Structure 1
Amino acid sequence: MFDVLHVSSAHPWTDVRVHQREAASAAAIGYRTGLIAVARQGERRDPHWTVPDEQTGVSVRRITRRPRLRRILVSSLQVITLALRTSAPVVHLHDPELLWAVPVLRLAGRKVVYDAHEDLPDQVRGKEYLRGGRRTAAIVLAHVLVRVACGSDRVIAATPVVARRFPARKTTVVRNLPRVRAHDLGTELARAPRAVYLGSHSRDRGLEALCAIADIPERTWELVTAGPVEHGGHRAAFDELVRAGAIDHRGVLHPTDARNLLLECRVGLLPLRPTPAYRTSIPTKLFEYMAAGLAVVATDVPFWRELLAGVDCVTWVPADDVTALAEAVGRYMDDPDLAVAHAGAGRDAVVETLRWEIDEPALLAVYADLLGGAPLDGLVAPPRS
Structure 2
Amino acid sequence: MKKRDEKRIFMCSSVHVWSDTRIYFKEAKSLADKGFQVEFYALDFEGEKENIPNLEMHYLPALSRKERYRHMRVLLKAFEESEAKNFHFHDPELLLLAKKIKKKYGNKVKTVYDMHEHLPAALLTKQWIPRFCRPFVSKFVEVVEKYYLKWVDAVIYAEVSYKQNYAMNQATKTVDVLNYPVMPPEIQEINPEKFTLIYVGVLTEQRGLFNMLELAKALRKKGCHDFKLKLIGPIFTNEEKIVDFILRNKLENHIEQLDRMQYKDIWRHYYQSHIGLCLLHPTPNNLNSHSTKLFEYMAAKLPVIASNFPDFTRILAEADCGYTVDPFDPEGAADLVMKLKEDKHRSQEMGEKGFRAFEQLYSWQHESEKLVGLYEDFEKKKIRLGIYE
With the shorter chain as reference, the TM-score category is 0.7 to 0.9
- Contact 1:105–1:111, Cα closer than 8 Å, also in 2: no
1:88 paired to 2:77 = no
SS in 2 for 1:273: coil
What whole-Å deviation, never above 9, does each CA across 1:186-213 have from its counterpart, x for those lacking one? Answer: x569976211111111011111112223
- Contact 1:121–1:139, Cα closer than 8 Å, also in 2: yes
**Number of the residue aligned with 2:42:** 37
Question: 1: distance between equivalents of 2:333 and 2:114?
Answer: 34
- Contact 2:211–2:327, Cα closer than 8 Å, also in 1: no
What whole-Å deviation, never above 9, does each CA across 1:347-375 have from its counterpart, x for those lacking one? Answer: 000001111111211111111122448xx
Offset, 1:54? 3.4
**Number of the residue aligned with 2:354:** 346
Which of 88-97 and 239-248 deviates more? 239-248
Question: 1: distance between equivalents of 2:282 and 2:199?
Answer: 17
- Contact 1:199–1:227, Cα closer than 8 Å, also in 2: yes
Gaps of 5+ in 1: 44-51, 374-385
Could you say if the C-alpha distance between residues 132 and 348 of structure 1 is closer, same or farther in structure 2, counting changes exceeding 3 Å?
same
1:274-353 aligned at under 5 Å gives the runs 274-308=282-316, 310-353=318-361
**Number of the residue aligned with 2:366:** 358
Question: 2: distance between equivalents of 1:245 and 1:85?
Answer: 54
SS in 2 for 1:369: helix
State the aligned residue count: 362
Offset, 1:258? 0.9
Question: 2: distance between equivalents of 1:198 and 1:361?
Answer: 26
**Number of the residue aligned with 1:225:** 231
SS in 2 for 1:183: coil
Question: 2: distance between equivalents of 1:321 and 1:315?
Answer: 13
Offset, 1:57? 5.3
SS in 1 for 2:111: strand
Could you say if the C-alpha distance between residues 62 and 194 of structure 1 is closer, same or farther in structure 2, counting changes exceeding 3 Å?
same
Question: 1: distance between equivalents of 2:167 and 2:154?
Answer: 10
Question: 2: distance between equivalents of 1:124 and 1:5?
Answer: 28
**Number of the residue aligned with 2:149:** 149
Task: Give the AA of the match of 1:338.
Answer: R
What whole-Å deviation, never above 9, does each CA across 1:77-126 have from its counterpart, x for those lacking one? Answer: 33333233222111111001111111212223421000111112211223
SS in 2 for 1:11: strand
- Contact 1:212–1:322, Cα closer than 8 Å, also in 2: yes
**Number of the residue aligned with 1:376:** none
Question: 1: distance between equivalents of 2:20 and 2:59?
Answer: 12
What whole-Å deviation, never above 9, does each CA across 1:241-287 have from its counterpart, x for those lacking one? Answer: 89933212222211110122111111001111111001111211110
Offset, 1:225? 1.7
Task: Give the AA of the match of 1:119.
Answer: H
**Number of the residue aligned with 2:244:** 237
Offset, 1:327? 1.8
Offset, 1:58? 2.5
Question: 2: distance between equivalents of 1:245 and 1:153?
Answer: 52
What whole-Å deviation, never above 9, does each CA across 1:276-305 have from its counterpart, x for those lacking one? Answer: 001111211110010011011101111223
Identity %: 25
Could you say if the C-alpha distance between residues 349 and 189 of structure 1 is closer, same or farther in structure 2, counting changes exceeding 3 Å?
farther
- Contact 2:16–2:43, Cα closer than 8 Å, also in 1: yes
Question: 2: distance between equivalents of 1:140 and 1:58?
Answer: 37
Task: Give the AA of the match of 2:156.
Answer: I
Task: Give the AA of the match of 1:363.
Answer: L
Offset, 1:238? 6.4
1:54 paired to 2:51 = yes
- Contact 1:99–1:148, Cα closer than 8 Å, also in 2: yes
Task: Give the AA of the match of 1:230.
Answer: F
Offset, 1:75? 2.5
Question: 2: distance between equivalents of 1:124 and 1:90?
Answer: 29
Offset, 1:55? 5.7
Offset, 1:154? 0.6
- Contact 2:207–2:279, Cα closer than 8 Å, also in 1: yes
**Number of the residue aligned with 1:258:** 266
1:135 paired to 2:141 = no
- State the Cα RMSD in Å: 2.7
Question: 1: distance between equivalents of 2:267 and 2:72?
Answer: 30
- Contact 1:159–1:282, Cα closer than 8 Å, also in 2: yes
Could you say if the C-alpha distance between residues 171 and 321 of structure 1 is closer, same or farther in structure 2, counting changes exceeding 3 Å?
same
Give the TM-score, by structure 2 length: 0.85
SS in 2 for 1:197: strand
